[in-house]
Structure 1
Amino acid sequence: MNVARSLIALGDDSDVIPHLDRARTVFAEIGDRYNQARASLELGSLRLNAGEPAEARRILSAALGVMVDLDAKYEQARIHEQLCAVATAMRTDESARRHLERAAELYESTGSPLAERIRRRLTGS
């Protein structure tokens, strides 16, 4: 997944989707739900960037369910941020706000400084 992240950061995400799909398959085969969901987070983000918000929402929602089951609050927050972006792309502003609020709550519960950044977005400052 680090290779995928590096390619995405460099703006070269054309070949990343097959690698993330393969990573998800491998993680599923070995029963690593956490990393399977992390790969899904990256894949959902790519699908959104590719103009496929409905597919992104499907992938991200499934990943969120896993992270809730695993009580992985920081990763839940990251997924809620992406679901906010999906909702914004789909022009569902109330849903976007709910996801952003939930991300802030989760970041706060982990002591992450990212909570403040999200709170500023919510207040428009």
Structure 2
Amino acid sequence: MSAAKPAARRTAAERMAAALQPVPAPTPVAPVDAAPQEPAAGGGRRRPAAVQTKTTRITADLSPLEYRALTRVLADLAEMIGVHKVTTVDLIRSMVDELGEDLRQGAGPVVERVADRLAARMSE
């Protein structure tokens, strides 16, 4: 991507690429039992910034048709790779990994198709 465009003028693929950029490594945080820091303005000590280590839960509301399609996809994938069951979370993690890899290589066909579907869905 050349010069930065306003968010509203970027294509769906460009917005998705920006969202999936690697997050910079967090700044190391001093251990809690470290020596006291210099007092902050106002006399109190500053607490070190917390680094998020917990997983994040996501939820989605699907129509009955979308849910049936999802369960069919999961069953088909399980059969394809020869396992008893593929979970929704495994599917989502694999899709995010694949989309991220596709974007790092320059917005390939998978990202373009997903971006087109997202743009159509979001314009409804």
TM range (shorter): under 0.3
Q: Name the TM-score, length of structure 2 as normaliser.
A: 0.25
Q: Which protein has the bigger helix share? A: 1
Q: Name the TM-score, length of structure 1 as normaliser.
A: 0.25
Relative CO higher for 1 or 2, CA cutoff 8 Å, sep ≥ 6? Answer: 2
- In our comparison, the structure showing a higher alpha carbon Rg is 2
